[in-house]
Structure 1
Amino acid sequence: MTELELKKFPQHVFGQAFTTVKCEGLSYLPWLEKRIRASGGQVHTRKVEDLWELYGSYDVVVNCSGLGSRELVGDSQLFPVRGQVLKVQAPWVKHFIRDGDGQTYIYPGAFNVTLGGTRQKDDWNLSPDPQNSRDILARCCALEPSLQGAWDIKEKVGLRPSWPGVRLQTEILAQDGHQLPVVHNYGHGSGGFSVHWGTALQAVQLVKKLISPLKISTSKAKL
């Protein structure tokens, strides 16, 4: 950042400015589903309590169940990182601001401005914490004082599925003489939208290696 730009943040001695893309989940996820259907894919909604329930119906299972993998596959290394944010109306805010270690941020979007946040390991609480909200608003207003005029403030809480790195690997489950090939792809933490496309492509390569001995074309494999 230039000296002139830094004058807006007198408590900081340096900064970086760049142009990037912000992904809006509310629009992006429906678009992804539409893309899947348009390419001939099928979307089914059902509860699966054991991957072996899928045996016989699918040649390969790709497990992207996030925190659900703690119970689904007994992964005790998976843990939540609680994130609380505020969604506010402040249409004059046009640029994002991210401070220090990334726990304080202001992200304008298509529908509102996101103010954050928290990063609380092993915290399963999905109820908004009033003190967290006060801290978030105070920190963000210190960066952008005009946010004191924001309105329609809503509290949001989510759990980021975290792992010691992303779990992107193959596992061959065995039971009663049968085998079920599985590709695990979860544990992205707070970086899911940032790295999901790359990890998905890697997962596809793992699937191809699994189905190659079965002589199944990728166009016919059931994923």
Structure 2
Amino acid sequence: MTDAELQMFPKYKFGQSFTTIKCECTQYLPWLEKRLKNAGGQLHTEKITGFEQLTSSYDIIVNCSGLGSRDLAGDQSLYPVRGQILRVHAPWLKHFIRDGNGHTYIFPGIHSVTLGGTRQKDNWEMSVNEADSSGIFERCCELEPSLKKSQVCSELVGLRPTRNSLRLERETFVHENRQVPIIHNYGHGGGGISIHWGTALEATQLVKESINWRNPTSKL
């Protein structure tokens, strides 16, 4: 950033400016679902407490259950990192702002501006914490004072499924003398949207290899 640009952030001595994109998940995920259905895919909602529920009906399982893999896959290295954000009405903001450690950020979107955030390891609390909301708003206002006149639209909480490294591999699940390949693809942490397409392609390659190995006659 130039000296003139840095004058907007008196507490900082160095900064970078670049052009990027922001994925609006509220629109992106329905688009993915529509794409799946158009390709002949089907969606079923069911609570799964064990892989054995699936082995009688499916030849290959792809496990993208996030934090659910603590129980499903017995992976206790997986832990939540709690994130809380605010969405505010501030249509005059057009540029992203993010501080050095990424704990404070301002991301304008199509309908609102996202203010964040928190990174609380091993915190399973899904309700909104008012102290967190106040802290987020105050920190963001320090970076962009005009936010003081913005209106809060919503407060949201989510748990990022995190482990030291994401798990992307195949294992063989044995149940009642039946061997079923399971492709694990979870543990993306807070970077899921950034890297999901690449890990999905890797998982797809493992599925193809499993098909060649099994030559299945049942459903996927």
Fold conserved between structures, TM > 0.5: yes
Distance 2:203 2:219 in 1: 14
Distance of aligned partners of 1:126 and 1:6 in 2 relative to their CA distance in 1, 3 Å threshold: same
Please name the residue that 1:208 is paired with. Answer: 208
Give the whole-Å Cα distance in 2 for the aligned partners of 1:203 and 1:64.
10
Paired residue for 1:144?
144
Letter in 2 for 1:83: G
SS of corresponding position for 1:88: strand
Correspondence 1:104 to 2:107: no
* Aligned-pair CA distance for 1:152: 3.1
Question: What amino acid is aligned across from residue 191 of structure 1 in structure 2?
Answer: G
How far does residue 153 in structure 1 lie from its aligned partner after superposition? Answer: 4.0
Question: Secondary structure of the residue that 1:213 maps to in structure 2?
Answer: helix
Matched-pair contact (CA < 8 Å) for 1:81–1:159 = yes
Query: Equivalences for 1:67-106 in 2 at 5 Å?
Result: 67-106=67-106
Counterpart in 1 of 2:185? 185
Whole-angstrom distance in 1 between the partners of 2:92 and 2:158:
26
The CA distance in 1 between the partners of 2:171 and 2:28, in whole Å, is: 30
Aligned residues: 220
Q: Given residue 81 of structure 2, which amino acid in structure 1 is its aligned partner?
A: V
- Gaps (5+ residues) in structure 1? none
| Equivalent residues of 2:86, 2:152 under 8 A apart | no
Structure 1 segment 107-186 matched on structure 2, within 5 A: 107-186=107-186
Displacement after TM superposition at 1:221 (Å): 7.7
TM superposition shift of 1:142: 0.4
Partners of 1:180 and 1:163 in 2: CA distance: 25
Length-normalised TM-score, structure 2? 0.96
Distance, in Å, in 2 between the alignment partners of 1:213 and 1:195 is: 27
Closer, same or farther: CA 177–221 of 1 in aligned 2, 3 Å: closer
Q: Deviations over 1:52-109 (max 9, x none)?
A: 1111311110000111111222211110000011111111111110001101000011
Q: TM-score, normalised by structure 1?
A: 0.95
Letter in 2 for 1:194: S
Residues in 1 aligned to 2:209 and 2:218: alpha-carbon distance in whole angstroms: 12
Q: Which residue of 2 aligns with 1:57?
A: 57
Per-residue deviation, 1:208: 1.2
Partners of 1:80 and 1:121 within 8 A in 2: yes
Percent identity of paired positions between Structure 1 and Structure 2: 57
- SS in structure 1 of the partner of residue 197 of structure 2: helix
Which residue is equivalent to 1:39?
39
CA contact (8 A) 2:57 2:218 kept: no
Distance 1:177 1:34, change over 3 A: same
For structure 2, the residue ranges without an aligned partner over 5 or more in a row are none
Task: Give 1:201 deviation, angstroms.
Answer: 0.2
Q: Per-residue CA shift, 1:143-181, capped at 9, x if unaligned?
A: 000000011342211100111111111111123322121
